[in-house]
Amino acid sequence: MALRAALRESDLTRVRELLDERDATEIAALLEREDAADRAVMYRLLHRDKALAVFELLDTGMRTELFQGLRDQDVAQVFEDLDPDDRAQLVDELPAGVAGKLMRGLSPQERDLTAPILGYPKNAIGRYMSTEFVRLLPHFTLDDALIHVRHGGGGAETVYMLPVTSAHRRVLGVIGLRELITGPADQTVEDIMVPARVVRATDDAEVAARQVVDAGLLAAPVTDSQDRIVGIVTVDDAARIVEEAEDEDAARQGASEPLGRPYLTTPVFGIVKSRVVWLLVLAVSALLTVQVLDVFEATLEQVVTLALFIPLLTGTAGNTGSQAATTVTRALALGEATKRDVLAVAWREVRVGAILGTLLGTLGFILAGAVFGLAFGIVIGSTLLLICTLAATVGGCMPMLARLLRADPAVFSTPFISTFCDATSLIIYFVVATYVLGIS
């Protein structure tokens, strides 16, 4: 690759020329594949506007690492040029001392725009809002409103959705730029504004972001506890929040933590750190399964054939529980279910699990009965029916319980379901076998 060759030869003029030929998206992808030293060199060679565009495309973890490789004056300039919401996100990732120094170095105007965002909890939508917006008053004519937008819209996050507020900043409605441009010049903003879909600054970021995305809004006003506008959240920021939340849930349902940066640029120790806690939890939970086997050791010694079906039954129970948990977790995230629906969810999963258990149990009865005899077929069929019903019910209820306890459903559900389903499926199996086979 020409760019890498130019870097090896320290031909910085050639590197700059090659970077100038690429757009911000291509450069961001290139930086993510380079080591820290080359990444810093390439970034310093970018023109100011393109450098800012590239920086905003990088993952948060990559931004932090890039900062560590830049000179102090470069860091201060990038930090000053960022949008207030992006600046707030970066502050969360930087060491407290570095973040404090950068905040003190901001211009008074930028510090005033950023400080309100930092006052909200990290998981609140207020942490992601933009404080750079243009608001209109209801008595403005459309002509006056356009002049107002031209005057104050240069630094705004967006002008495609404009909040309409009272003199005391209470949200009265919103108006789109299209309506502002195409409407009669002497008509007032109040005449054509529409009701606003607002979110509260303290609302959970993922929940609020999904509301914006699902409603197809270009942006939504963000209000404080007294219903006064404090910022706006745009659809691109909302979509990014939703994407990050889904990536996090997917990683945790796979028993690991999200990396927060591209896989190939993540240090090996970082990957180990993202997985080791889950492996330790699952390893400890496996000890419970060992204890169950130890309790029923005498039963296994009398009917050795029982051991053949243990992987099938524990695997089926775990998969059934995980399917239910994944489905309900997604329903919670999309607002299709709430923690108050726990009984409805439990009853639905009881029926789903019973039907799945009947189907699998019938198949297990036929196959096990044909090979090992009728009694053994009854054991396998009955066990599959019971464990599928129980696993689906527990798997469906665990995310609801997690939400009630204000925990992440994906974090709470995965280790519990793995432990519970393995142990209980074995207990059910051996109890059914003892009863049907007449084992003493």
Task: Confirm whether 156 is domain-assigned.
Answer: yes
Residues 180 and 118 both lie in one domain: no
Last residue of a domain, one of 88, 122, 156: 122
Mean pLDDT to the nearest integer, 352-369: 92
Cα separation, 250 vs 429, in Å, equals 31
Assess whether pLDDT exceeds 70 at residue 282.
Answer: no
Confidence band, pLDDT 50/70/90 cuts, at residue 357: very high
Q: Compute the distance between CA of residue 85 and CA of residue 126 in angstroms, rounded to an integer.
A: 9
The answer to the question of residue 133 being in a domain is no
**Tokens 């705004």, residue located:** 156
Residue 240 and residue 183 share a domain: yes
Q: Which residues, other chains included, contact 395 with Cβ-Cβ below 8 Å and sequence gap of 6+?
A: 320, 321, 322, 323, 324, 325, 328, 349, 413, 417, 421
Q: Could you tell me which of 286, 291, 297, 288 has the C-alpha nearest to residue 434?
A: 297
Q: What percent of the chain has pLDDT above 90? A: 17
Q: Tell me the average pLDDT across 249-254.
A: 66
How many Cα neighbours within 13 Å face the side chain of 212?
30
Residue 134 forms part of a structural domain: no
Give the contacts of 256 (CB within 8 A, at least 6 positions apart).
274, 275, 278
Contacts of 426 (CB under 8 A, 6+ apart): 289, 292, 293, 296, 310, 313, 314
Q: Does a structural domain hold residue 130?
A: no
Cα 199 from Cα 241, distance rounded (Å) = 15
Average pLDDT of 141-146? 90
Looking at residue 19, which CATH number applies to its domain?
A: 1.25.60.10
- In 10 A of CB 209, how many CB atoms? 26
Same domain? 322 vs 366? yes
Q: State the pLDDT confidence band at 363, using cuts at 50, 70 and 90.
A: very high
Q: pTM for this one?
A: 0.65
Nearest CA to 135 out of 201, 200, 225, 232 is that of: 232
CATH number at residue 389: 1.10.357.20
Is residue 313 included in any domain, yes or no? yes
The per-residue pLDDT for 297 is 67
Are 399 and 332 in contact, with CB atoms under 8 Å apart?
yes
| Window from 72-81, 101-110, 142-151, 178-187 with minimum mean pLDDT | 72-81
At 295-314, the pLDDT tens digits run 666 666 666 778 788 888 88
Note the pLDDT of residue 411.
63
In a domain, 136, yes or no: no
Tell me how far apart the terminal alpha carbons of the chain are, to the nearest angstrom: 73
**Does the pLDDT of residue 193 top 70, yes or no?**
yes
18 & 90 share domain = yes
Count the domains in the chain. 3
> Token pair for residue 421?
């389903």
Rounded Cα distance, 408 and 427, in Å: 29
Task: From 132, 134, 119, 131, select the one nearest 202 (Cα to Cα).
Answer: 119
**Residue 24 and residue 92 share a domain:** yes
Q: How many C-beta neighbours within 10 Å does residue 114 have?
A: 21
Domain boundary among 224, 252, 280: 252
> Whole-angstrom Cα distance, residue 180 to residue 188?
10
C-alpha to C-alpha distance for 418 and 399, rounded to whole angstroms:
14
Q: How far apart are CA 83 and CA 131, in angstroms?
A: 9
Report whether 164 contacts 173 (CB < 8 A).
yes
Mean pLDDT of 360-380: 90
Confidence at residue 332, expressed as pLDDT on a 0 to 100 scale: 81
Same domain, residue pair 239 and 302: no
Domain's final residue, options 87, 122, 157: 122
Establish if 292 belongs to a structural domain.
yes
Sequence-distant (≥ 6) Cβ neighbours of residue 141 within 8 angstroms: 185, 186, 187, 188, 189
The predicted-structure confidence for 49-71, as pLDDT tens digits, reads as follows 787 787 777 777 777 777 766 76
Residues 6+ apart with CB under 8 A from 342: 397, 400, 401, 404
Give me the phi and psi of 165, to 5 degrees please: -130, 165
Looking at residue 49, its pLDDT comes to: 77
Q: State residue 269's pLDDT score.
A: 73
* pLDDT classification of 290: cutoffs 50, 70, 90: low
DSSP H helical ranges for 106-141: 108-118
Q: Note whether 247 and 322 are same-domain residues.
A: no
SS3 assignment, position 220: strand
User: Could you list the residue range(s) of the whole structural domain that residue 52 is in?
Assistant: 2-122
Same domain, 284 and 400: yes
Tell me if 325 sits within 8 A of 413, measured CB to CB.
Answer: yes
What pLDDT shows up at residue 311? 83
Measured distance CA(358)–CA(372) in Å, rounded: 20
Give the pLDDT confidence score for residue 303 in this predicted structure: 67
Task: Assess whether pLDDT exceeds 80 at residue 154.
Answer: no
What is the rounded average pLDDT of the residues 137-157?
A: 86
342 in the same domain as 199? no
User: Do 418 and 279 belong to one domain?
Assistant: yes
Q: How far apart are CA 142 and CA 153, in angstroms?
A: 15
Question: 400-424, pLDDT tens digit by residue?
Answer: 887 777 766 766 566 667 777 878 8
Residues 420 and 278 in one domain: yes
Specify whether 325 is located in the same domain as 375: yes
pLDDT of amino acid 347: 93
Q: Mean pLDDT across the stretch 234-262?
A: 74
Contact 42, 19 (CB under 8 A): yes
